[in-house]
Amino acid sequence: MFVHNKRLQYTVRVAGPNPGLANLMLEQFGGPQGELAAACRYFTQAVAEDDPGRKDLLFDIATEELSHLEVIGSIVAMLNKGAKGQLAEAVESEAELYRSLTGGGNDSHTTALLYGGGPALTNSAGVPWTAAYIDTIGEPTADLRSNIAAEARAKIVYERLINVTDDPGIRDALGFLMTREIAHQKSFEKALHAIQPNFPQGKLPGNPEFTSVYFNMSKDGDARGPWNEGGDWKFVEDPQPAVDGGDGTATVSVSEQDVETLQAMVSRTASDPSSDPTTGADLGAGKAS
């Protein structure tokens, strides 16, 4: 059961309307790194979680992400207040209203016209939110790592949003939200390392013949470091197909009937290297005689 407290988790103070900035803020409302995506990610993980500690953690953070969604949505609504009234009541001239909406050099006019100045479940480019943003796979050691990365990406977006506004109230609220991304990263990492062992992910071990092998697959400017040398790393300078010792071809066993059918198809579709017919490309290039 969810109970909504009508007070925001963090006080929102907006100096004045700014539709262009409002549109940028939508990145954290309905964007891939935004608060709705985070809330849905952690809520669905919590529902399926059997460990009581992780279940509680995921439900708590999912619910907090919904409160963050409310904070961002409130910022968007406050920034759009002037445009919302102007659009509804047509108090400005056409030119002045359009200039106020497009002054930020983005698509805020589209957002304002379509959604009446309210926060839309889109990113800042107007792309609708989608559940495809959620990459939960149902394995805690994999999902917790993905959650840590998701919080890191969200923190970076908040940093960028802070850098595009000089509104002290908005910068303060965004700084709080950014800081909570750090707190969530710490919680998820602690939960990950409470599972031992947690690498590799899943149940099946890797093939020891390949788990500590680094294949040098791109030539020139090779860089060496702890990712490919030292410890039990084996660096293969010039890997050649196939690394399993086979001939690198693909084979399949088929029935005698399928062999005959496949041979007939190969014969029917065989190309003639000696043939050089006039083609549409020749005709289009004006080279046909």
Whether residue 198 lies inside any domain: the answer is no
Domain-embedded: residue 267: no
Same domain, 163 and 226: no
Query: How much is the pLDDT for 98?
Result: 47
Based on the fold, state whether residues 239 and 109 are members of the same structural domain: no
Instruction: Name the burial class of residue 188, with classes exposed (0-12), middle (13-18) and buried (19+) by CB atoms within 10 angstroms of its CB.
Output: buried
Separation CA 32–CA 134 (nearest Å): 8
**Domain match, 181 and 66 both:** yes
Whether 143 is in a domain gets the answer yes
- DSSP 8-state assignment for residue 122: B
- pLDDT the model gives residue 105: 47
Asked if pLDDT for residue 112 goes beyond 60, the answer is: no
Residue 178 included in any domain: yes
- Reported as a single tens digit per residue, the pLDDT across 219-272 is 888 999 999 999 999 999 999 889 999 999 999 999 999 999 999 999 999 999
As a whole number of angstroms, the distance between CA 31 and CA 61 comes to: 18
Domain enclosing residue 238, as ranges: 206-243
* Other beta carbons within 10 Å of 217: 7
Q: Are residues 150 and 33 in the same domain?
A: yes
Distance CA 267, CA 20 (A): 64
Residues 94 and 166 in one domain: yes
Q: State whether 180 and 231 are in the same domain.
A: no
Comparing CA positions, the residue from 80, 87, 47 lying closest to residue 63 is 47
The answer to the question of residue 29 being in a domain is yes
In this structure, are 121 and 231 located in the same domain? no
pLDDT at 110: 57
Grade residue 173 by pLDDT with cuts at 50, 70 and 90. very high
How many domains is the chain built from? Answer: 2
Q: Does any domain span residue 261? A: no
Amino acid identity, position 102 = T
Q: Are residues 170 and 219 in the same domain?
A: no
Same domain, 40 and 131: yes
Q: pTM of the predicted model, to two decimals? A: 0.83
